Amino acid sequence: MARVYKEPRRSEVTPQPQLQLLEIERQGKLGKMFTALTALVTLASAGVLPQALAHGGVLSYKIDGSIFQGWAPYNSPVGQTTIQRPWSSYNPITVATDPTIACNDDGTSGALQLTTTAQAGSPITAYWNQVWPHAQGPMLTYLAQCPGSTCTGVNANTLKWFKIDEAGLLSGTVGDGYWGSGKMIDQNSSWTTTIPSSVPSGNYLIRFETIALHSMPAQFYPECAQIQITGGGSLAPTAAELVSFPGAYQQTDPGVTIDIYTNDAQSQTTYVIPGPPLYAGASPSVPAPPPATSAPTTVAPTSGPTASSPSQPSSAPPSQSSAAGTIAQFGQCGGSGWNGATACASGFTCTVLNPYYSQCL
């Protein structure tokens, strides 16, 4: 829980003034927490009021059905024992090549660092603080295998990382579309990635990340946890799939420099997710969007070997119901361009969240 509010580690550029921001700042002293509702920032006042800040990170995980609390960055480190690598502030990283881009600041093992086992082929969910405030930008998940018998004590900057999940611009335009991070918010501010069943067993850091594009420079929010993958396969990541942090991203990457408020962005339908290509054995939680075409045709999403997303028959129009009860809680069941199933599992209702996305809730 937030205890002491720290100033941003780097200055931020005020986002688009047309946005009306109603954000809650968490502040506190001496372990008490109170929330302060900040001003409603309007076009007229944006120039004079300080920017309302709302940041955060991954606060807990669900692995093989169990909840694991993460590190509490605003509490004393003394006595904290968690699978998550320690981090110190809700503030974003805004330099793509910063050493803390690997596992946040400072991302070294805690004194009472834990590791938990996780089955290859099983889902792992990361929960951000509620409600995650930034709906524009990609979601990314990486693994890095540690040498030896534990990740404890291993410097995250020395590891080679590979990407096992990503979700960028899911539909619509860069300026006005539905993003991976918007879907994360719609999923209870959480993101579920399937640990590829092909990944070799061993000790890994798992790095969940969201990148926020609502202001410039882009804001990186990575956190890491230590897992021991069991029951894995034998598909090692290739050299082309392996990257270092820092190193994987450059400040000049198109997916980092992008300005979502330009005129061009209002019609641009492609976004290049930063980092390496997906690991060949990955089961991305969102199928890759269809390639951009000049005509506004709708292409059925490629159905991949996903474990956490709903089954997606290739040709059922959204108005027709396919096999009943196929979509689990938080699964997509409709929205602009949606060609998949529309019937929610028993107990859940397909609910319109925005023109691009309906979800079983």
Residues that bind ligand NAG (CB under 6 A): 60, 127, 130, 188, 190
Phi/psi for 240 (5° steps) reads: -70, -20
Closest to Cu ion by CB, 55 vs 207, is: 55
Joined together, the tokens standing for residue 49 give 């009021």
Joined together, the tokens standing for residue 250 give 């450059």
Q: How far apart are CA 166 and CA 273, in angstroms?
A: 8
Q: Using CA of residue 145, residue 279, residue 184, residue 138, what is the dihedral sign? A: positive
CB 283 to ligand NAG: min, Å: 21
Of 49, 111, 122, 52, nearest to 85 by C-alpha is 111
When asked if residue 55 is in the footprint of Cu ion (CB under 5 A), the reply is yes
CB 188 to ligand NAG: min, Å: 4
CB 130 to ligand NAG: min, Å: 5
Q: How far apart are CA 300 and CA 75, in angstroms?
A: 47
CB 145 to Cu ion: min, Å: 31
Closest to ligand NAG by CB, 114 vs 361, is: 361
CB 329 to ligand NAG: min, Å: 7
When asked if residue 183 is in the footprint of Cu ion (CB under 5 A), the reply is no
Closest to ligand NAG by CB, 288 vs 345, is: 345
CB 42 to Cu ion: min, Å: 20
Partners of 166 in the β-ladder = 140
Which residue has the closest beta carbon to ligand NAG? 188
Closest to ligand NAG by CB, 60 vs 113, is: 60
Of 82, 202, 230, 209, nearest to 146 by C-alpha is 202
Q: How far apart are CA 235 and CA 345, in angstroms?
A: 34
Query: If you count them, how many residues does the chain have?
Result: 361
CA distances from 297 to 24, 155, 342 (A): 40, 47, 20
When asked if residue 26 is in the footprint of Cu ion (CB under 5 A), the reply is no
Residue 207: contacted member of Cu ion, ligand NAG, none (CB under 5 to 8 Å, by partner type): none
Closest to ligand NAG by CB, 26 vs 163, is: 26
CB neighbours (10 Å) of residue 154?
19
Q: How far apart are CA 115 and CA 42, in angstroms?
A: 46
Residue 188: contacted member of Cu ion, ligand NAG, none (CB under 5 to 8 Å, by partner type): ligand NAG
Cis amide bond preceding 133, omega within 30:
no
CB 127 to ligand NAG: min, Å: 4
Residue 55: contacted member of ligand NAG, Cu ion, none (CB under 5 to 8 Å, by partner type): Cu ion
Closest to ligand NAG by CB, 130 vs 321, is: 130
Residue 80: contacted member of ligand NAG, Cu ion, none (CB under 5 to 8 Å, by partner type): none
Number of residues that bind Cu ion (CB under 5 A): 1
CB 43 to ligand NAG: min, Å: 33
Closest to Cu ion by CB, 179 vs 338, is: 179
Segment near Cu ion (CB under 5 A); pick from 47-55, 68-76, 103-111, 289-297: 47-55
Closest to Cu ion by CB, 274 vs 335, is: 274
Q: Where are the beta strands (DSSP E) in 263-354?
A: 332-334, 350-354
Residue 130: contacted member of ligand NAG, Cu ion, none (CB under 5 to 8 Å, by partner type): ligand NAG
Q: How far apart are CA 70 and CA 164, in angstroms?
A: 21
83-100: burial string, b at 16+ Cβ within 10 Å, e else: bbbbbbbbbbbbbbebbb
Binding residues (CB under 5 A) for Cu ion: these are 55
